[in-house]
Amino acid sequence: MANSFTVAVLPGDGIGPEVMAEALKVLDAVEKKYDVSFKRTLANVGGAGIDNEGKALPDTTVDICKQSDAILFGSVGGPKWETLPPDEQPERGALLPLRKIFGLFCNLRPAIIFPALTGASSLKDDVIKGGFDILVVRELTGGIYFSTPKGIEGEGSEKTGFDTMKYSAAEVERITHVAFEAARKRGSKVCSIDKANVLSTSVLWREVVERVSKEYPDVELSHMYVDNAAMQLVRWPKQFDVMLCSNMFGDIISDEAAMLTGSLGMLPSASLAEGSFGMYEPSGGSAPDIAGQGIANPIAQILSAAMMLRYSFNMVAAADAINAAVEVVLNNGYRTGDIYQGGDNEKKVNTSEMGDAIIAQLNR
């Protein structure tokens, strides 16, 4: 009897459904190749949820997600819904509740630059020659974004805004385990990012990370202050494998790392709960400027599906095979518009042609 997994498929808005179609084709190919079955249920989210069922995260969608082993998410939002009250808008109304309902405490943001695409980076050739592959592990439910008290009080020049930054040892411990487990499946290095020269939360953070690291003698641990890390990322990104960050530092560092690759349409992400449940989605948005034209880059969505196989279904070989197929297709010159640079061996393709090329490579 073949392995079987259930997947809630939430394509969302804009280019979401277009790139999701390609990721689902890749899952079809994986089913055939690896004797596994993915039982998929489609559900509305974001603007599609608002238009069809009256809210960004319909109850039926939540139920479908609860009955699934993982969520494959497209992207949400667009000009049509921007005049709604903030909490009802596609992004806030769907993404924040999903994080809360499913306890998604950990955000994994790879910043990968494939050797064939180093020309798209803002960094100098000799800095990124051969590409790089960084995984930012960001704590997602604690720290300064959520701790209380927070607010604005007083009047006039005494009016004061305040936030609180808190982390418990337990919160630091569980995210640290994720980072070390991930490092074991990659380059075996963790760099923990903090500001331990100034912040008490960072002193605790460092203490807990040190303690947990003893359980992973095969993984090399280093510590770096966040301001230095921001500098080191642009100076020599190849020194990093896994970067372990608190919520706010990870928000900033992951965007910086992503942009060094120069291609938003290429980057996947994962948000994990305790156990194996997770939500997988491209780092970019719904790209209203190119939606409906069939020209979006499906690679971020396809690599998000690969992350689902790796982290929720423990199908490491299949995930590696998808990543390898993407790399070969890029080496062979296939380019959607966002990564096309007019080089001699480049072939400009649309969304479904890119998906087909990756599947053909996967089937070889």
206 is an annotated ligand-binding site residue = no
Contact between 112 and ligand NAI by CB under 6 A: the answer reads no
Contact between 71 and ligand NAI by CB under 6 A: the answer reads no
175 is an annotated ligand-binding site residue = no
Q: How far is the CB of 222 from ligand NAI (least distance, A)?
A: 31
- Among Mg ion, ligand NAI, none, the one that 284 touches (CB under a kind-dependent 5 to 8 A) is ligand NAI
Q: How far is the CB of 93 from ligand NAI (least distance, A)?
A: 11
88 is an annotated ligand-binding site residue = yes
Residues linked to residue 11 through DSSP beta bridges, in sequence order: none
Contact between 43 and ligand NAI by CB under 6 A: the answer reads no
Contact between 355 and ligand NAI by CB under 6 A: the answer reads no
Q: How far is the CB of 254 from Mg ion (least distance, A)?
A: 7
115 is an annotated ligand-binding site residue = no
The residues in 234-263 that bind Mg ion, with binding defined as CB under 5 A, are 251
Contact between 286 and ligand NAI by CB under 6 A: the answer reads yes
**Which residues are catalytic, by number?**
145, 195, 227, 251, 255
Using CA atoms, how far residue 233 sits from 124, 181, 239, in Å, is 13, 22, 8
- Cβ-closest position to Mg ion: 251
Contact between 303 and ligand NAI by CB under 6 A: the answer reads no
- Cβ atoms of 194 and 206 within 8 Å: the answer is yes
Q: Any idea which residue has 């020194």 for tokens?
A: 239
Choose the stretch contacting ligand NAI; rule: CB under 6 A; options: 55-63, 167-175, 283-291, 324-332: 283-291
Spatial separation of the C-alpha atoms in residues 75 and 301, rounded to whole Å: 10
Contact between 97 and ligand NAI by CB under 6 A: the answer reads no
Question: With respect to ligand NAI, which residue has the nearer C-beta, 144 or 259?
Answer: 259
Spatial separation of the C-alpha atoms in residues 197 and 103, rounded to whole Å: 31
- Among ligand NAI, Mg ion, none, the one that 91 touches (CB under a kind-dependent 5 to 8 A) is ligand NAI
Provide CB contacts within 8 A for 185, sequence distance 6+. Answer: 310, 316
The residues in 76-95 that bind ligand NAI, with binding defined as CB under 6 A, are 76-78, 91, 95
Residues forming the annotated binding site for substrate?
Answer: 99, 109, 138, 227
Q: Which residues bind ligand NAI (CB under 6 A)?
A: 15, 19, 75-78, 91, 95, 264-265, 281, 284-290, 296-297, 300, 338
Residues forming the annotated binding site for NAD(+)?
Answer: 78-91, 285-297
Q: Which residues bind Mg ion (CB under 5 A)?
A: 251
